[in-house]
Chain A
């Protein structure tokens, strides 16, 4: 009887504590439909499991208080080896609870991914930045993601080098960018605003700066805007892209952007302003510019600019096709520079 009352009291205290945790709320801003569904599952799980933890803690603490051996005590414990009824109860009730929790999680997962997407965006992870393509709008290598509010968006996440994790905490959604495959993630943003994007998977020495808000962050904040602002953004971006295509360095700029050089290097023609590695605008003044540039790309450790870390990925030799490499080297070394 004592045990039953204690169990009930413990469970109730646990449930109240759980409700308290939910009421305080430890989640960041809720800015997508998925966040609403996920937070609902989270809150139910918190309350239910806090009830169980309360039950266990109450019995544990009470047993330690009631049954600790006191000085001079000669009590003998009852030789009880078990109780089948109790064992059935504490197998069956947790089974029911976890089945319910599985059910609500499954339902939320289905809701999170239901319906057809109104927009597809390709997300590219690379050391140490994110770039975005809008495949239906012929827009590529966009550094800042801009998406319309209240639209179901399919993000197709890929990587150009190692594994990264693309996470937007305010959306409660993340997925890895794995080289060699396309990973799909559905988000329906519900709030206009700027959001940070975080790399969750260790990807090298720049892993921490591959998230926004960190000192020296490389990625831009993600922007959720109204449909009208979104249309204006797309129109402007397409115009810029058209102008870029007319640039004599267009081919080189494309290689430069695709390989992700701009994350670390500033180069005028590509409008990049990365500062982890040296700026590349004055390379033409090098006495043996073409060979020097080529060597610096295929074997970056051979000659490291004073004051900069020897951090440049060593695999561009295999990542760039010989043609792309030629185009890039010529442009950087000043061959086609106007």
Chain B
């Protein structure tokens, strides 16, 4: 069959524009037929063209090649022969592939592209901010780059990267052959590059300028790119929800024999809590973005004050998702830290159940704190104190985790490799972000620093110093499993130290700027703040340059790294019991779990065995 007819990116190249054109022409025809003037409405055309194009792309890539024949009762050969499963050549990574390991890698690669593009945008506007006055880019361009930076980093990097890492690792950790719904899994991945392209393509029609929060009425009045922002979030959100459902079902139903809930690795627990959060919270942002999009495109007035709409309502709905989203972006990272610290300390995790349930506690409490983003928004005044209390309370389960990790490394035998450095460096930076989080929970203090650089410093400490550090810890930890080769330790340590030093140099002075009076999201500022801004910009460039160690290391080691073997770190969980990279169908014989996942320090103890092996230790009692 011709390459343009088989399900792949080449087919997308013509199916996508074709579907767009068909539906745009249909719209024109209908508008002409019912006598609407003008016949061409650019806002409407753009929206319809994009929505049709999204479906066109999914058809092109082959997302429906099994579902369509199945719906009409035809033969579904792809379902029977597993021909969409597994990577036999590099080309299989650019196809609709149902293997969770391929999807995991596709996810991680895509999200890192988003990370580097979003990072470049930050470098561009840091160059502008290095010196007061307008130097390189206009205020509008600044607003565009700033909004794109936040949007890409959150919706196409931090939220999906954990879906990517989890995709690769979690079925292996559970002893499962794949995720519960492999085809849905592939569909959720392919929505992600679409979301990224939708966000980036908004530069062509005037990038969205209202930040990653997109508050109306500024966003409903903004350039056409704002519609694409709203559409992109729908797509990224749909991807996120589909993956979360998949994780929930996989974790609950696909565990190997003997894998009780309390024998699951903590990353699995963290993903369980996160997936529950995603399923419950993400529909709210989808709703909010649909409403702003309808305000723009079809003339509704949900948030248009002159027509009786209420802009504050958007903020409530938005943060009802976006605060839990903060935990969506950090809970899986907590899981990674628990894995890395325990393995690299050669010591059981301290307080397994406390860590597992503090994730659940954060997930539940996380729904009662959203309005702390709105203390100075003019919301109902009585709501401030209850929100302050619940926000302060979140510090408790978070503290439990920090102290439990310290308990884990105390008296351990610490292997100071790059993954461990990132995990311990994470504790240091995350504590700073946590401390300023407590300050920000205090209503009078927030009345001073709301929407200033202090807030920018705070969330970069929790998202960069927190989440991104856990991502790197995870990448250095599982890279040998994914590629069968070790990353270079010397480059890894250079990467760690440059990241650690320059991220603190970049983000710490922002606290002072905020306290002293510099607002956020400004293309220009009071010349009194020049010195620190110049310092921050230089640090940001160094931070970006340090990432080159990582990029080179990842690419070079995939081919030339030291052979890793099945279990380079001496981990006990199931992913370390298969070859590196793992076989295409994971486990030839399903493993049998006989004890907890972190039984380090006990001679001969095992988490699981393959059934033909004689059991060397007696199964552990279930309470551990």
In the complex the two chains form, is B211's CB within 8 Å of A176's CB? no
In the complex the two chains form, is B217's CB within 8 Å of A174's CB? no
Task: Say yes or no: is A297 at the interface (Cβ < 8 Å to chain B).
Answer: no
Nearest chain A CB to B3 CB, angstrom units: 46
B518-566 at interface with A (beta carbon < 8 Å):
519-528
Which residue of A37, A49, A57 is within 8 Å of B444 (Cβ)?
A: A37
Known: A63-B414, A78-B347, A109-B384. A98 touches B392 (CB 8 A): yes
Q: Tell me the bound Cα distance from A156 to B620 in angstroms.
A: 66
Interface bracket on A: 35 or more
Task: Say yes or no: is B415 at the interface (Cβ < 8 Å to chain A).
Answer: yes
Task: Say yes or no: is A114 at the interface (Cβ < 8 Å to chain B).
Answer: no
Which residue of A37, A91, A102 is within 8 Å of B400 (Cβ)?
A: A91
Report A-chain residues with C-beta under 8 Å of the C-beta of B399: 90-91, 94
In the complex the two chains form, is A26's CB within 8 Å of B311's CB? no
Report B-chain residues with C-beta under 8 Å of the C-beta of A157: 378
Task: Say yes or no: is A115 at the interface (Cβ < 8 Å to chain B).
Answer: no
Task: Say yes or no: is A183 at the interface (Cβ < 8 Å to chain B).
Answer: yes
In the complex the two chains form, is A202's CB within 8 Å of B210's CB? yes
Known: A63-B410, A157-B378, A162-B218. A109 touches B444 (CB 8 A): yes
Report A-chain residues with C-beta under 8 Å of the C-beta of B526: 196, 211, 213-214
Task: Say yes or no: is B81 at the interface (Cβ < 8 Å to chain A).
Answer: no
Q: Mark interface residues in B363-391 (1 if CB within 8 Å of A CB, else 0).
A: 00000000000001110010011001100
In the complex the two chains form, is A172's CB within 8 Å of B140's CB? no
Nearest chain B CB to A34 CB, angstrom units: 7
Task: Say yes or no: is B452 at the interface (Cβ < 8 Å to chain A).
Answer: yes
Q: Tell me the bound Cα distance from A80 to B598 in angstroms.
A: 10
In the complex the two chains form, is A199's CB within 8 Å of B396's CB? no
Task: Say yes or no: is B451 at the interface (Cβ < 8 Å to chain A).
Answer: yes
B205-254 at interface with A (beta carbon < 8 Å):
209-211, 215, 217-218, 221
Closest chain A residue, CB of each to CB of B217: A162
Closest chain B residue, CB of each to CB of A45: B439
In the complex the two chains form, is B431's CB within 8 Å of A53's CB? yes
In the complex the two chains form, is A176's CB within 8 Å of B431's CB? no
Task: Say yes or no: is A258 at the interface (Cβ < 8 Å to chain B).
Answer: no
Closest chain B residue, CB of each to CB of A216: B524
Closest chain A residue, CB of each to CB of B147: A202
In the complex the two chains form, is A26's CB within 8 Å of B414's CB? no
Q: Mark interface residues in A85-103 (1 if CB within 8 Å of B CB, else 0).
A: 0110011001100110110
Q: Tell me the bound Cα distance from A46 to B349 in angstroms.
A: 31
Closest chain A residue, CB of each to CB of B529: A213
In the complex the two chains form, is B376's CB within 8 Å of A165's CB? yes
Report B-chain residues with C-beta under 8 Å of the C-beta of A90: 399-400, 403
Task: Say yes or no: is A112 at the interface (Cβ < 8 Å to chain B).
Answer: yes
Report A-chain residues with C-beta under 8 Å of the C-beta of B395: 94, 98
Report A-chain residues with C-beta under 8 Å of the C-beta of B413: 67, 69, 73, 75-77
In the complex the two chains form, is A167's CB within 8 Å of B350's CB? no
Q: Mark interface residues in A309-320 (1 if CB within 8 Å of B CB, else 0).
A: 000001100110
In the complex the two chains form, is B515's CB within 8 Å of A174's CB? no
Q: Tell me the bound Cα distance from A173 to B447 in angstroms.
A: 5
In the complex the two chains form, is B305's CB within 8 Å of A172's CB? no
Known: A38-B445, A41-B442, A163-B311. A67 touches B412 (CB 8 A): yes
Report B-chain residues with C-beta under 8 Å of the C-beta of A243: none
Nearest chain A CB to B606 CB, angstrom units: 13
In the complex the two chains form, is A206's CB within 8 Å of B443's CB? no
- Number of residue pairs A-B, CB distance < 8 angstroms: 286
In the complex the two chains form, is A81's CB within 8 Å of B350's CB? yes
Q: Tell me the bound Cα distance from A216 to B134 in angstroms.
A: 11
Report A-chain residues with C-beta under 8 Å of the C-beta of B414: 63-64, 67-69
Task: Say yes or no: is B139 at the interface (Cβ < 8 Å to chain A).
Answer: yes
In the complex the two chains form, is B521's CB within 8 Å of A202's CB? yes
Q: Tell me the bound Cα distance from A41 to B448 in angstroms.
A: 12
In the complex the two chains form, is B310's CB within 8 Å of A206's CB? no
A203-218 at interface with B (beta carbon < 8 Å):
203-209, 211, 213-216
Known: A169-B517, A203-B218, A213-B528. A77 touches B447 (CB 8 A): no
Task: Say yes or no: is B70 at the interface (Cβ < 8 Å to chain A).
Answer: no
Which residue of A57, A77, A165 is within 8 Å of B431 (Cβ)?
A: A57
Q: Tell me the bound Cα distance from A69 to B389 in angstroms.
A: 43
Q: Tell me the bound Cα distance from A109 to B143 in angstroms.
A: 34
Known: A53-B435, A82-B352, A205-B143. A165 touches B392 (CB 8 A): no
Task: Say yes or no: is B617 at the interface (Cβ < 8 Å to chain A).
Answer: no
Report A-chain residues with C-beta under 8 Å of the C-beta of B515: 26-28
Closest chain A residue, CB of each to CB of B601: A79
Known: A99-B392, A162-B218. A83 touches B416 (CB 8 A): no
In the complex the two chains form, is A95's CB within 8 Å of B217's CB? no
In the complex the two chains form, is A205's CB within 8 Å of B139's CB? yes
Report B-chain residues with C-beta under 8 Å of the C-beta of A318: 306
Which residue of A63, A106, A200 is within 8 Å of B451 (Cβ)?
A: A200
Nearest chain A CB to B504 CB, angstrom units: 13
Closest chain A residue, CB of each to CB of B437: A49
Task: Say yes or no: is A234 at the interface (Cβ < 8 Å to chain B).
Answer: no
Closest chain B residue, CB of each to CB of A164: B218
Report B-chain residues with C-beta under 8 Å of the C-beta of A77: 345-347, 411-413, 600-601
B420-439 at interface with A (beta carbon < 8 Å):
424, 427-428, 431-432, 435, 438-439
In the complex the two chains form, is A64's CB within 8 Å of B416's CB? yes
Known: A82-B354, A105-B445, A161-B217. A45 touches B384 (CB 8 A): no
Sample of 10 more A-B contacts, CB < 8 Å, known A45-B445, A80-B407, A81-B348:
A38-B448, A76-B601, A79-B347, A82-B351, A86-B407, A87-B404, A91-B399, A112-B447, A180-B306, A204-B209
Closest 3 CB pairs of A and B: A183-B378, A180-B305, A79-B601
**What are 7 A-B contacts with C-beta separation under 8 Å?**
A63-B406, A77-B345, A77-B601, A95-B393, A207-B139, A208-B524, A208-B525
User: Residues of A with Cβ closer than 8 Å to B?
Assistant: 3, 26-28, 34, 37-38, 41-42, 45-46, 49-50, 52-53, 56-57, 59-60, 63-64, 67-69, 73, 75-83, 86-87, 90-91, 94-95, 98-99, 101-102, 105-106, 108-109, 112, 157, 161-163, 165, 167, 169, 172-176, 178-184, 196, 198-209, 211, 213-216, 314-315, 318-319
User: Residues of B with Cβ closer than 8 Å to A?
Assistant: 132-134, 138-140, 143, 209-211, 215, 217-218, 221, 305-306, 309-312, 345-354, 376-378, 381, 384-385, 388-389, 392-393, 395-396, 399-400, 402-404, 406-407, 409-416, 424, 427-428, 431-432, 435, 438-439, 441-445, 447-448, 450-452, 511-512, 515-517, 519-528, 596, 599-602, 605, 624
